[in-house]
Amino acid sequence: MDKLWAGRTDGQNAALADEFNRSIAVDCRMFRQDIEGSMAHAAMLGAKGILPQGSVKQILDGLQTILEDLSSGALVIDPNAEDIHSFVEFELTRRIGDAGKMLHTARSRNDQVALDLRLYLKHEAQEVIGLVKALIGSILTVAKANAGAVMPGYTHLQRAQPVTFGHWILAYGFMLERDGKRLNNAVELMNVSPLGAAALAGTTYPIDRDDTAGRLGFSGVSLNSLDAVSDRDFCVELAGALSILMMHLSRLAEESVLFSSWEFKFIELSDAFSTGSSIMPQKKNPDIAELVRGKTGRVYGDLVTLLTLLKGLPLAYNKDMQEDKEAIFDALDTAKACLSVIAPMLETMTVKQENLRKAAAEGFINATDCADYLVKKGMPFRTSYQITGQIVAACIASKQTLETLPLKEYQTFSELFESDVYAAVDLDVCVKARTSLGGASPESVQQQITALTEYIGHD
């Protein structure tokens, strides 16, 4: 296939160099954005009198038929084309003749690819936001069904204080809410049009950049042509937001792996989202959760690829930047796949509420409430803390719990203990008493559910 840049050179690369230079296999997915950008550019050239209206109509009609044929499969992208821009322009010229050669007036592939990439990533990021909200919806379903299921909350992976399973899983809902907002912020920052920057210095044609920006749904235009064609901050920022999102999914996956183990038995993943062992017939492996955890490193790698790619580039466009798309596309594809699979995995799992309760009862997670009981009786907290620690040690030695320790033994540690201590250390009471905003009480959990429900209901 001929090269758009043939002229100064004869356009005849060595076959090996041709293959090395070709990006069509990666950037072909942007065909829709490339055509839409070209249509906006052509319409603006016609409106400004830069191209005759008859030629503009030919171009627009030709581009529309190419878009329709590519969408339907009637036209197949030539894998030997240099890139999607070359393919579309050559196909247009093949269909409408010399009018197709006018399309590139006042435009370079440099601002063209920057435009296509912004358009594509805007669309993809919105899809990810939709998947994030869908996952939050799955989390809300689980939280509502388990809002009263008492379980241990952990610090240092040691049983710490009583919470509920609903409260626990809602923590991931709020992580994901932040992810959605970060992604939305990335979209807002990338929502400026580079079209019209041309190769790097703008153009001598009397173009209207605001016109094309408006046609393509951008909120404004880039104000420096050098920056417009060399900026890939929007790729890095999106990859960064996706990396944080994947970190959150990985943490959720990690706890899903732990909680589904025999050592915890807090949940059981459905057969539809588990696998077996080829040699051990008793095994039920949380492979889906493990893969989500594993794929997180892949997205991190994509972010580092982009940062490393850009760190030493002089202004303006450099061919190195062709490598941006494979990294950001992979990050998007990976995040979307993980979001799509983890939502139904959560919805179909079984929460073992009786095992949650048993673990909560055995871990002295109501010790803080015992100390607080003494504080409410007038004892300084640090003193009550020490006494409660001694009581826990005594319970462990006698194989008792705070709920079963006789009152007389309580009173050997402090005369402030009375029979109401048993209500104070009751696990349900402990949870219900945590009424501070964001706490584990049923009222607080319901507030959290309401807040997340409002978030996913917003466009």
DSSP 351-390: E-HHHHHHHHHHTTTTHHHHHHHHHHTT--HHHHHHHHHH
Task: Enumerate residues 6+ apart whose C-beta is below 8 A from 413.
Answer: 387, 390, 391, 394
Any catalytic annotation for residue 277? yes
CB 260 within 8 A of CB 226: no
Q: What is the DSSP letter of 275?
A: B
Single out the catalytic residue among 72, 156, 419, 436. Answer: 156
Q: Where are the alpha helices (DSSP H) in 22-72?
A: 24-27, 31-47, 53-72
CA distance linking residue 196 with residue 115, whole number of Å? 10
Find out whether 110 and 200 touch, Cβ atoms under 8 Å. yes
Which residues fall within 8 angstroms of residue 238, CB to CB, at 6 or more apart? Answer: 121, 125, 183, 186, 190, 328, 331, 332
- DSSP code at position 57: H
| Contact yes or no for 292/249 (Cβ under 8 A) | yes
> Using CA atoms, how far apart are residues 227 and 201, in angstroms rounded to an integer?
10
CA of residue 440 relative to chain centroid, distance: 27
Cβ atoms within 10 Å of 144's Cβ, excluding its own: 14
Catalytic entry in 71, 219, 261, 277:
277
Rg over alpha carbons for the chain, rounded to the nearest Å, is: 30
Q: Count CB atoms within 10 A of the CB of residue 2.
A: 11
Distances (CA, A) of 195 to 208, 215, 243, 314, 387: 10, 12, 29, 21, 71
Give catalytic status of residue 138 as yes or no.
no
Q: Taking a C-beta distance cutoff of 8 angstroms, is the pair 13, 311 a contact?
A: no
- Quick one: CA torsion of 432, 437, 438, 441, rounded to 10 degrees? 10
**Which residues are identified as catalytic?**
156, 277
